[in-house]
């Protein structure tokens, strides 16, 4: 029983830590001007933007060319690959890429940390604008897709899944070089703070 109670306490601490540490929380704050399915997608995009940006900022500049093996993307290339997808894929749901954007070679266009982060942020701004500009009436519109068919609803799901895959990749990279994801570090600090706060009460028992 004691173990179960302790586990519940730890879970509550973790949830509280997430709520207090997260810089953004679209599940609570909402997505003004966007409702329904598009709001659900936009919430995930906002969370991805926050995590990608914070992780990119946490990676040392000299590690941006690091890669676990020669045949996979470096940190810079992962971040720019995600940015390229944000700029390019939303054309499928009605928003063309920015003027002058070329998807070919984009992910190898720079290894400068400041420039990579700027392009990542710009790409998520583009994604948010594209989702907001869509019409709910077009979500079920069909198009050719990898030899079959998909809808605009499915395209949004694909883009979010694609981003999530590469966020996991970037997190694994970060862990490998000893960088703890910032939101995980936030939770650890909040848990330590909660333990210190509860310590005097435990001593009195």
Query: What's the whole-number mean pLDDT along residues 192-204?
Result: 69
Which range (17-21, 25-29, 117-121, 157-161) has the least confidence?
Answer: 17-21
Q: How high is the pLDDT of residue 3?
A: 45
Alpha carbons within 13 angstroms on the beta-carbon side of residue 62 total: 1
CATH code for residues 29-182: 1.20.120.450
Query: What's the whole-number mean pLDDT along residues 25-54?
Result: 95
Q: What is the mean pLDDT of the chain?
A: 88
The answer to whether the CB of 123 falls within 8 A of the CB of 98 is no
Q: How high is the pLDDT of residue 185?
A: 86
What angle in degrees, to the nearest 10, is found between the helix axes of 36-58 and 113-133?
180
Distance from chain centroid for Cα 100: 25
- Name the DSSP letter for residue 179: P
Backbone angles phi, psi at 141, to 5 degrees: -65, 130
d(CA 168, CA 119): 20
Question: Is the pLDDT at 45 greater than 80, yes or no?
Answer: yes
**H-run or E-run covering 176:** helix 152-176
Domain boundary assignment for the chain: 29-182
pLDDT band at 196 (very low <50, low <70, confident <90, very high): confident
d(CA 205, CA 196): 15
Give the percent of the chain with pLDDT over 70.
85
Q: Which of 50, 42, 43 is nearest to 27 (CA)?
A: 43
């Amino acid at each position: 029983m004691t173990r179960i109670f302790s586990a519940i306490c730890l879970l509550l601490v973790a949830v509280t830590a997430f709520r207090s540490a997260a810089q953004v929380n679209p599940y609570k704050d909402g997505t003004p001007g966007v409702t329904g399915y598009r709001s659900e997608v936009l919430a995930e995009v906002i969370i991805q933007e926050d995590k990608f940006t914070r992780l990119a900022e946490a990676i040392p500049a000299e590690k941006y060319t690091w890669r676990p093996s020669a045949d996979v993307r470096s940190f810079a290339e992962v971040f720019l690959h995600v940015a390229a997808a944000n700029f390019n894929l939303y054309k499928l749901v009605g928003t063309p890429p920015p003027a002058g954007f070329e998807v070919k070679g984009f992910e190898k266009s720079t290894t400068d940390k400041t420039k990579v982060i700027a392009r990542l942020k710009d790409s998520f701004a583009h994604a948010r604008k594209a989702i907001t500009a869509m019409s709910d009436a077009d979500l079920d519109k069909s198009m050719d897709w990898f030899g079959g068919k998909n809808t605009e609803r499915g395209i949004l799901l694909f883009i979010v899944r694609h981003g999530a895959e590469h966020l996991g990749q970037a997190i694994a990279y970060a862990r490998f070089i000893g960088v703890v994801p910032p939101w995980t570090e936030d939770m650890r600090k909040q848990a330590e703070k909660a333990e210190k706060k509860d310590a005097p009460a435990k001593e009195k028992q």
